[in-house]
Amino acid sequence: MELLTVAEMASADQAAMAGGTSGFALMRSAGQAVALAAEAMAERGRILVVAGRGNNGGDGFIAAAELAARGRDVSVILLCDRASLRGDAAFAAEEWNGAVLPCDPQAIGKPNLIIDALFGAGLNRPVKGDPHAMIAAMNASGVPILSVDLPSGINGDTGEVMGIAVEASATVTFFRRKPGHLLLPGRVHCGEVDVADIGIDADVLDRIAPKTFENVPDLWADGFPFPQADGHKYARGHAVVVSGDVVSTGAARLAARAALRAGAGLVTVASPRDALAVNAAALTSVMVRETETPKQFGELLADKRLKACVIGPGAGVGERTREIVHAALSAHRGVVLDADALTSFAGAPETLFAAIKKQNDPQVILTPHDGEFGRLFSALRSDNPHGSKLEHARLAAVRSGAVVLLKGADTVVAAPDGRAAITANAPPWLATAGSGDVLAGIIGGLLAQGVPAFEAACIGAWMHGEAGQEFGPGLIAEDLPEMLPAVLRNLYDEIGIAY
């Protein structure tokens, strides 16, 4: 589940070499892993290796030699003069006894498979000249491509396309994945990613102490709120969701039902007077409480059994919502701020951040989509216009004092202490009206059960993606809460919990 930056992966390599494994031994293992993957992708026919001048190209030479030794028809195109290779890459090229073709896109021809070994994950400058032409020709060939470590042209830390990038069918990476394997657009360039063991001991992670992870159950399973046999509804937590006026009630109801399905023992919709009848008529297991003013909302939170608040879905933009947020923060509850709650502070975000930071160990989660993030953190984006989604989410968490869940197909969850997780299970049909309201409700239901903010945001994003996968095409937001029982059953099975 750990994701290593390019620098952290270099540290892992150095630690392995300090422990007695040579750099060339690591390269040999990497090349052998690439050869195995290549044989699985192309059982017959010619295989072309397109190699660069660095260690990525060295991996490609080892793979070429391995495949040739197994009787495969292999060709190699090299980006530079063979005599200019240095270090382990030069040693790897000595393993290859065949011809080396010049760097000419016309030399690609029509192989059965191309192995892309041009650049590694550390590329941090735009691709130009011969490499650009070669990548364009590889993509245009229509031939399946297996990339070594990361598709050439993708930045390993950010997932950014550096001018042009290989469109791989599959990727073999080593020891651990990088953020660029999961962040868009890098993820769509990778195809299926296989992580190969090349002899680096997992103990090196203790020294590296990575803070970026894929959002999967291994990250948070130990803290998942499994109901206890002697529990009761209040032990499972009571969540409150703030409704807007009579014409804006649906979003709050979506969030409330999601919170209940996510495991909260009770859920109440705090409703303005004019929306009471609409909300009461549409809700059954979710309770409704008249809450016309922020003062009434503060009085509602005097009940200590209310553990978490969801504010924003359909709440309305303006002073009332801002005051309700301040009331929730003053009551020191778990708080999810979404949609209108975020936009309500767009003109004065520092007042929100100051209120969050006043709390001791705030359990506050902000869940913006890209547009809401831009409104709330416009200064951050101005200061860091070229930052990645991961970097922006981390900076926003520090600036706000809250856990920030920056939504999208590659949702990033970041905590003020530097931890971050990238979610990769969201299907495209989650992009539908009301989907974010359901996500906010799921997270609120988890907060109500006592799950800490970072873990609640991670679990909520993962469950949201799984629910979308469970339903499939044709999904609308109302379907998502009804998929959560199946998601929970599958999770229980995976973890080994009887139900």
314 is in an annotated binding site: yes
126 is in an annotated binding site: yes
407 is in an annotated binding site: yes
284 is in an annotated binding site: no
Q: What are the backbone angles phi and psi of residue 416, rounded to the nearest 5°? A: -60, -25
57 is in an annotated binding site: yes
Choose among 254, 229, 214: nearest CA to 478: 254
120 is in an annotated binding site: yes
396 is in an annotated binding site: no
CA distance 434 to 425: 18
70 is in an annotated binding site: no
232 is in an annotated binding site: no
CA distance 189 to 173: 14
409 is in an annotated binding site: yes
For the chain, how big is the Rg over CA atoms in Å?
26
212 is in an annotated binding site: no
Helices 479-495 and 435-448: crossing angle in degrees, nearest 10, is 50
Could you tell me how far CA 442 lies from the centroid of its own chain?
Answer: 17
Cβ-contact 171, 193 below 8 angstroms: yes
Q: What are the backbone angles phi and psi of residue 54, rounded to the nearest 5°? A: -100, -160
152 is in an annotated binding site: yes
**Residue type at position 358:** K
Question: How many CB atoms are located within 10 Å of the residue 13 CB?
Answer: 20
369 is in an annotated binding site: yes
19 is in an annotated binding site: no
279 is in an annotated binding site: no
121 is in an annotated binding site: yes
117 is in an annotated binding site: no
215 is in an annotated binding site: no
436 is in an annotated binding site: yes
Written in H, E and C, the secondary structure of the chain is CEECCHHHHHHHHHHHHHCCCCHHHHHHHHHHHHHHHHHHHCCCCCEEEEECCCHHHHHHHHHHHHHHHCCCCEEEEECCCHHHCCHHHHHHHHCCCCCEECCCHHHCCCCCEEEEECCCCCCCCCCCHHHHHHHHHHHHCCCCEEEECCCCCECCCCCCECCCCCCCCEEEEECCECHHHCCCCHHHHHCEEEEECCCCCCCHHHHHCCCEEECCHHHHHHHCCCCCCCCCCCCCCEEEEECCCCCCCHHHHHHHHHHHHCCCCEEEEEECHHHHHHHHHHCCCCEEEECCCHHHHHHHCCCCCEEEEEECCCCCCCHHHHHHHHHHHHCCCEEEECHHHHHCCCCCHHHHHHHHHCCCCCCEEECCCHHHHHHHCHHHHHHCCCCCHHHHHHHHHHHHCCEEEECCCCCEEECCCCCEEECCCCCHHHCCCCHHHHHHHHHHHHHHCCCCHHHHHHHHHHHHHHHHHHHCCCCCCCHHHHHHHHHHHHHHHHHCCCC
346 is in an annotated binding site: no
Q: Which residues are annotated as a binding site for (6S)-NADPHX?
A: 55-59, 120-126, 149, 251, 314, 369, 437
Binding residues: 55-59, 116, 120-126, 149, 152, 251, 314, 369, 407-411, 436-437
> Which positions make up the binding site for K(+)?
56, 116, 152
Could you list the residues known to form a binding site for AMP, using ranges: 407-411, 436
